[in-house]
Structure 1
Amino acid sequence: MKDAWPLVMIVDDDVSVRESVEALIRFSGWQPRSFESAAAFLAQTPVEGPGCILLDIHLPDDNGLDLQGRIAEQYPELPILFLTGYGDVPMTVRAMKAGAAEFLTKPFDNDVLLDSVERAIETSKRMIGERRELKQIAARYASLSRREREVMHLIVAGLLNKQVGGELGISEITVKAHRGRLMEKMKARSFADLVKMSERLGLDTASRR
């Protein structure tokens, strides 16, 4: 069975646009899925996987710019590429500030569209990979004991083993033992690696020296 991803979702009320873009997307090896309205798009069963959304800025039941926020919440890892028959600078600025990947004016060049879709899909894959990695880091952090977490918080804040021991009322040797175990559990190859993980988890890494 052919892989259902990457998925390119097309939201446009113009049937001729949907059909032509679908054919182009399918020919390029991606999986198209089209919708004629915002309501139809929002009513679909949630999907997960890499891809992007081609969104017409003027839909019969909703404004694409207003829909953009809801789409971003439902599909944060699917970049939005706006399609429009006409546009102006304020509209483009608003869309880009809200996170749009591209703003393409109809009629668009097929190569330009495909290049934009390819970039968006690569961005989607990267975002999904980062989310997966963050979940793994969070799971490792959850496996730490309370004391290991305390030691981790202090060492990433810049304290030396001796200082950590003073803060926690334990010996430097005990600190080293906790440090070794937490480094192993977190799969941190270096102190810098551990600091990066702490930052991604949103832990306080401000220096306490």
Structure 2
Amino acid sequence: MTTDLTVFIVDDDDAIRDSVQVLLECAGFRAEGYSTPLAFLDSDAPSRPGCLLVDVRMPQMSGLDLQERLVRDGHALPVVVMTGHGDVPLAVRAMKAGAVDFVEKPFEEEALLAAVRSALARVAAGGAPASPSPPVAAEAPSPPPSAPPEVLARLSALTPRELDVLRWLVAGRSNKVIAFELSISPRTVEIHRARVMEKMRADSLPTLVRMAIAAGVVPGGA
């Protein structure tokens, strides 16, 4: 039962941490907040059942460092990463290291709750966090065997230029940067980006990035 599980929130911003905890508790989740990764590690929380909701940028120890520390110490908490605007590359790195999802600040409440539900459902079902993905050497998409067939079908419907735009979106680049890299106008990038979102049936950038990672899409510049 997810009611027996705890969502551990690690964020050095008191206002965000408290508001997320209130949101989760109002939605029926058990939640605990920690102001630093070290405070979390010094508690018994890592060994208790639940999931970790962690900010990616914090002083002394980042959310990614905390994620790697938990893996090293043998703790199997599913991790959901919270990122600020422009931190998509860090979110991609976190997901390749085994994070189950990421959400962008400012949060859409339902997106945050959906990510938490997904992480806790994995625990309730007895599943372990995803294993870190191996490095991808090829420049073209190289989907792992577990990639959902429907995602691969959507990916195959992209034009070469749309795939280029997708790769740079996964790398966390802005429309202006993508336009420079591809020698096209920012307006053209916007059009291709809208078509990519539509063809991939992604309702948000995090959703698009999750599908691209699952399909083995190599970020632009990698």
Tell me the TM-score range normalised by the shorter chain.
0.5 to 0.7
Match of 2:107 in 1: 108
| Aligned equivalent of 1:123 | 122
Report matched runs for 1:160-175 at 5 Å: none
CA–CA separation in structure 2 for the residues paired with 1:75 and 1:24: 29
Query: What do residues 172-192 of structure 1 show as CA deviations (whole Å, max 9, x unaligned)?
Result: xxxxxxxxxxxxxxxxxxxxx
Give 1:4 deviation, angstroms. 7.1
Which residue of 2 is the match for residue 81 of structure 1? 80
CA displacement at 1:61 relative to structure 2 = 1.9
Q: Secondary structure at the match of 2:125?
A: helix
CA separation of 1:95 and 1:128: change in aligned 2, threshold 3 A: closer
Worse-superposed segment, 74-83 or 19-28: 74-83
Deviation digits for residues 124-161 of structure 1, max 9, x if unmatched? 122369xxxxxxxxxxxxxxxxxxxxxxxxxxxxxxxx
Match of 1:82, SS? strand
- How has the CA–CA distance of structure 1 residues 80 and 87 changed in structure 2, closer, same or farther, with 3 Å as cutoff? farther
Q: Deviations over 1:25-79 (max 9, x none)?
A: 1112221111111110110025545421100001122121122111234464321
State the match for 2:175 in structure 1.
none
Structure 1 gaps of 5+ residues are: 130-209
Give SS of 1:114's match. helix
Could you say which structure has the higher helix fraction? 1
What CA RMSD, in Å, does the superposition of the two structures yield over aligned residues?
2.2
Q: How many residues are aligned here?
A: 127
Partner residue of 1:28? 27
One-letter code aligned to 1:77: A
Q: Which residue of 2 aligns with 1:59?
A: 58
Aligned to 1:68: 67
Determine the C-alpha separation between the residues in 2 that align with 1:55 and 1:46: 13
Q: 1:67 to 1:7 in 2, by over 3 A?
A: same
The residue that corresponds to 1:17 in the other structure is 16
Given that 1:7 and 1:30 are in contact with CA atoms closer than 8 Å, whether structure 2 keeps it comes out as: yes
Once residues 128 and 111 of structure 1 are traced to their aligned partners in structure 2, the CA distance between those partners, rounded to angstroms, is: 23
1:43 matched to 2:67: no
Structure index of larger Rg: 1
Change (3 A) 1:27 1:106: same
Change (3 A) 1:26 1:11: same
Q: Distance in 2 between matches of 1:84 and 1:114?
A: 15
Q: Distance in 1 between matches of 2:48 and 2:35?
A: 22
Q: Please give the secondary structure, in 1, of the residue aligned with 2:76.
A: coil
- The answer on whether the counterparts of 1:51 and 1:124 sit within 8 Å (CA) in structure 2 is yes
Q: Answer yes or no: is the 8 Å Cα contact 1:50–1:128 preserved in 2.
A: no
Partner of 1:145: none
Give the TM-score normalised by the residue count of structure 1.
0.55
1:95-149 per-residue CA deviation (whole Å, 9 max, x = no partner) reads 11100111111001011100110010010122369xxxxxxxxxxxxxxxxxxxx
Separation of aligned partners in 2, 1:56 and 1:88: 11
Residue 110 of structure 2 aligns to a residue in which SS? helix
